[in-house]
Amino acid sequence: MYKLIQIELYKIFRRPRTYIAFAAITALITIIQFGLKLDGNTYAEFMMRDLSSSITIDGNILNGYLVCYIMLQLLLVHVPLLIALIAADMISGEANMGTLRIMLTKPISRTQFMLAKFAAAAVYTMMLLVWLAILALFGSMLIFGTDDLFLMKSSYVVLLKNGDIFWRYVGAFGFAAVAMLTVAALGFLLSVFAENSIGPIVATMSVIIFFTILSTLNIPIFNAIKPFLFTTHMNDWKEFFDMKVTDTNESIIGSVLRPEKIINSILVLLIHIVGFVTAAILIFKKKDILS
């Protein structure tokens, strides 16, 4: 099994397409960091224009932690596309090149073959997230320094102490890993149905866009199905950046406002991953391989 995963990883990293995602993330993060370094204070002033009429805010607002948060907000919506580029190509790519039949002549079960393929896609997804973390978090910490994290929510603001932030990012990236694995699993499932890569990649993105719109629309008729859509839960990494308060409105350092929401979202996403991968294996096992 380990050997199979190694082979699959070798194939992934031999393709130039794999590096598009890493290059895209590098370019996007560098541009955002460059822009914020040059004119970040104007951006911060714009964000705080309502608040600054009644509150004086003193300190290094635009520090590495805030820059990373801004980037995660923007990028974690688009990273699924980059993951779909590889995950949705795992089976359909082989079918397209006509290598699927040859591979299945080897003495391995189809389940093993599929699990190795998914494991390789998962490793790629993790590597992409680690790269994102290195550039967005550590890069920003290096360029902008660290300080307290001042976050503006839609109806309140949160001030997190410098020493109470890093573990939250570890949690948020861990959560994002599960969310992105769900996307990989969906792409992987859809790749079983096609014999070229474009179809599953576009289909994966279409499903994500469609579900995201349903998740964000505030129409009562859709509220009943929202908890079952994985896109509803994918953004819950932000829950790590909210704190509980005491009766006198004093924030409790080290607390998370709704830990049960995070656990629930992780469970929903894990169920989706297991469901998508199981479905992909079952369908593939019964599939007549003609290419």
Asked if 17 is part of the footprint of other proteins (rule: CB under 8 A), the reply reads no
Give the interface segment with other proteins, choosing from 21-29, 87-95, 177-185, 213-221 (CB under 8 A): 213-221
Asked if 248 is part of the footprint of other proteins (rule: CB under 8 A), the reply reads yes
Measured CA to CA, the distance from residue 139 to residue 43 in angstroms comes to 20
Longest dimension (CA), the chain: 72
> Which of 16, 58, 107, 288 is in the footprint of other proteins by CB under 8 A?
58
Which amino acid is located at 199 in the chain? Answer: G
Query: Minimum distance between the CB of residue 90 and other proteins, rounded to whole angstroms?
Result: 30
> Which of 6, 30, 42, 60 is in the footprint of other proteins by CB under 8 A?
60
Asked if 175 is part of the footprint of other proteins (rule: CB under 8 A), the reply reads no
Measured CA to CA, the distance from residue 197 to residue 201 in angstroms comes to 6
Q: In degrees rounded to 5, what are phi and psi of residue 256?
A: -120, 135
> Residue 117 is encoded by which pair of tokens?
């393929």
Query: Minimum distance between the CB of residue 158 and other proteins, rounded to whole angstroms?
Result: 5
Measured from the CB atom, the residue of 64 and 187 that comes closer to other proteins is 64
Asked if 16 is part of the footprint of other proteins (rule: CB under 8 A), the reply reads no
Site for other proteins in 261-280 (CB under 8 A): none
Q: Is 99 helix (H, G, I), strand (E, B) or coil?
A: coil
Q: Is 192 helix (H, G, I), strand (E, B) or coil?
A: coil
Measured CA to CA, the distance from residue 281 to residue 90 in angstroms comes to 13
Query: Minimum distance between the CB of residue 58 and other proteins, rounded to whole angstroms?
Result: 5
CB 152 within 8 A of CB 47: yes
CB 115 within 8 A of CB 281: yes
Asked if 209 is part of the footprint of other proteins (rule: CB under 8 A), the reply reads no
Measured CA to CA, the distance from residue 212 to residue 76 in angstroms comes to 13
Measured from the CB atom, the residue of 30 and 216 that comes closer to other proteins is 216
Provide the binding-site residues for other proteins, judged by CB under 8 A. Answer: 47, 50-51, 53-61, 73, 77, 147-148, 150, 152-159, 161-162, 164, 215-216, 218, 235, 238, 242-243, 245, 248-253
